[in-house]
Chains A and B, each alone.
Chain A
Amino acid sequence: MSSNTINNGPIERLVTELHKLPGIGPKTAQRLAYYLVRVSKDDASKLADSINAVKEKIDFCSACFDITENDPCPICSNPNRDKTRICVVEEPLDVRALEKTRSYTGTYHVLHGVISPMNDIGPDDLRIDDLLRRMKLLEVEEIIIATNPNVEGEATALYIQRLLEPFEVKITRPARGLPVGGDLEYADEITLSRAMEGRQPF
């Protein structure tokens, strides 16, 4: 009877919820929960309010599925953006990384994951169908498949390429080569050979 009361108490509920967060184990969840018991009511409300605000205000863009406050997102609603180019990325953070370069002026499509048979993630779990729907509505000239250059990213890219075949659209992948600040002697054979293949006039 008493163990039941403990399991359903507010602290245990908080521990269970915190434990669901990435990188938080049962012990850390417990420590965080007991810390939150000690913080002022004001601080606790601020935390609760900001979590609520994120869930209420942040949504997915109906066009590119990036995380946004307004739908469509600032990139999709910007008239200066080239709507004939779509860059397909795995995660919203990849959009942030590409935006930092300021060299890409097209739009994006976020898949929210990557095909990973080992982790039981199949094509149906990703936003691939939405990309195809978008292709039918818009006049797209180029699709840049910017998934990560690892096996899972390649599998996803090959799968998308196969689905895009009927659209007769130009499909590209970002170039592979040596990173700035990297060391040639530590570069792997595949990166080096691709870097040599794609060398540019100096």
Chain B
Amino acid sequence: MAKPRVYTTTAFVLKYRNYGESDRFITFLSRELGQVQGFAKGVRRSTSKLTGHLELFHNVRVSFAVGKNIDVITEVEIVKTADKINDSLSILSCALNITELAINLSAEGPGNEAIYDLLYQTLNALNGSDEDNAEKLLAYYQLNLLFISGLAPEYKECVECRCKLSKQDHVYNATAGGIICPNCTNKQIGSLTNLSVNSIKVLRYIESTDIKSVELFPIPKPIISDVNKILNLHINHHIDRKIRSSTFFKVTD
């Protein structure tokens, strides 16, 4: 069946790029259609009917008219705003990191439902959450996204000899894809990063529970920073691209 000339979907605004005098290219993530690119004509003019609806993190109901090269956005309506994210710098930088990861790990077409649902859950939790919870929610999102994409780090057994890890501090190796037991440390190439036993416990806890419990669970700042550092290392190595908003996050501390 031919694609309809006009179609509508519910999606998150992930990214935009200014074009020409007052236009923008916008990247969305839709549950059914995956990543969708749209052209928003005249959106930067204050009197445009699209203005304000197509801001980052908004969940919108958007209609497209099929174009020759790119589909043109004809109508847009906000389903859920994310206005509270902009009130805090640390929440905002976490949200930017989250959307950047969604862009890198999702694709066009169907099959992105789990990534969409995770994004929906995390942005909802971040919008209106306490500043101190931002890093926990980021870690929850990153770890679950890695599981969905099949790239999760191994932290239950040694990636080299497959032995069960003892309750002690270990080292993590991005090239190997997980934690190395003390016996295998010498055989490794690439840089090793120390990971405390508490950080490993936090990783296991985040994997086993839901977002609400992660938000309520008190995790000391140094431990959650450690977990975020390892997850960032893992992501940067496996998607072979530097997540730029993660460095911005450090700047704001």
> Is B52 touching A191 in the complex (CB atoms < 8 A)?
yes
- Contact flag A179-B86 (CB < 8 Å), given A118-B244, A154-B92, A155-B93: no
Would you give the shortest CB distance from A147 to chain B, in whole angstroms? 12
- Report chain A residues within 8 Å CB of B247: 117, 122
- The size class of the interface chain B forms with chain A is 20 to 34
Instruction: Specify which of B55, B88, B244, B251 is in contact with A150 (CB 8 Å cutoff).
Output: B55
Residue of A nearest to B97 (CB): A117
> Is B53 touching A188 in the complex (CB atoms < 8 A)?
yes
Instruction: Specify which of A120, A154, A158, A188 is in contact with B244 (CB 8 Å cutoff).
Output: A120
Number of residues of chain A lying within 8 A (CB) of chain B: 24
- Report chain B residues within 8 Å CB of A122: 247-248, 251
> Is A187 touching B52 in the complex (CB atoms < 8 A)?
yes
Instruction: Specify which of B47, B92, B251 is in contact with A151 (CB 8 Å cutoff).
Output: B92
> Is B56 touching A151 in the complex (CB atoms < 8 A)?
yes
A159 at the interface (CB under 8 A from B): yes
- Report chain A residues within 8 Å CB of B100: 117-118
Would you give the shortest CB distance from A160 to chain B, in whole angstroms? 10
B51 at the interface (CB under 8 A from A): yes
Would you give the shortest CB distance from B62 to chain A, in whole angstroms? 13
> Is B46 touching A179 in the complex (CB atoms < 8 A)?
yes
- Report chain A residues within 8 Å CB of B248: 115, 117, 122
Residues on B facing A (Cβ under 8 Å): 15, 20, 46-47, 49, 51-53, 55-57, 78, 81, 83, 86, 88-89, 92-93, 96, 100, 244-245, 247-248, 251-252
Query: Can you spell out 22 A-B residue pairs with CB atoms less than 8 angstroms apart?
Result: A115-B248, A117-B248, A118-B15, A118-B96, A118-B245, A122-B251, A150-B55, A150-B56, A151-B56, A151-B57, A154-B86, A154-B92, A155-B93, A155-B96, A158-B92, A162-B89, A162-B252, A183-B47, A186-B49, A188-B52, A188-B55, A188-B81
